[in-house]
């Protein structure tokens, strides 16, 4: 069974600070996603990481993937209030058609 864990579960940080969210998964996978979810809304796709060493950046967010360590990170640079949301990583379960979600990280950015 594929398990996907995120750390931390909740993060409160001041505007302007940096922080990293970690996503660990338990079995081999070829594809990892990062999503953002605002309260009461569905998912917004942020990044798709397809290979070992992949790094993608969009604005203040940067995602990376280490398939050997089964680890992905989402780095936040100089956080702003608009980044407040819940962030999920999700992993394609190799050999199946399924996408399994991590536990989620609720981010709160305050002035």
Partner 1 sequence: GAVVSQHPSWVICKSGTSVKIECRSLDFQATTMFWYRQFPKQSLMLMATSNEGSKATYEQGVEKDKFLINHASLTLSTLTVTSAHPEDSSFYICSARLQGTGELFFGEGSRLTVL
Tokens describing residue 20: 């990293």
Q: Is 84 in the site for partner 1 (CB under 8 A)?
A: no
Answer left, alpha or beta for residue 12, where phi above 0 means left and psi between -120 and 50 means alpha.
beta
Site for partner 1 contains 108 (CB under 8 A): no
Quick one: which segment of 21-29, 39-47, 60-68, 71-79 binds partner 1 (CB under 8 A)?
Answer: 39-47
Alpha carbons 85 and 38: distance in angstroms, whole number: 5
Q: Which is nearer to partner 1, 50 or 78 (CB)?
A: 50
Question: Which one of 33, 34, 47, 87 is in contact with partner 1 (CB under 8 A)?
Answer: 33
CB-hemisphere CA count at 13 Å for 108? 6
Query: Could you give the CA distance from residue 34 to residue 72 in angstroms, rounded to a whole number?
Result: 9
Touching partner 1, residues 1-30 (CB under 8 A): none
Q: To the nearest whole angstrom, how small is the minimum distance from the Cβ of residue 16 to partner 1?
A: 27
Among 32, 92, 107, 109, binds partner 1 (CB under 8 A): 92
């Amino acid at each position: 069974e594929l398990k996907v864990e995120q750390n931390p579960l909740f993060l409160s940080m001041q505007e302007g600070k940096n922080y990293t969210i970690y996503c660990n998964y338990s079995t081999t996978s070829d594809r990892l996603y990062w999503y953002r979810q605002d309260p009461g809304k569905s998912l917004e796709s942020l990044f798709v990481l397809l290979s070992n060493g992949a790094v993608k950046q969009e604005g203040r967010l940067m995602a990376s993937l280490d398939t050997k360590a089964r680890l992905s990170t989402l780095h936040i640079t100089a956080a702003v209030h608009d980044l407040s949301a819940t962030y999920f990583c999700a992993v394609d379960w190799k050999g199946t058609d399924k996408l399994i979600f991590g536990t989620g990280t609720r981010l709160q950015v305050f002035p």
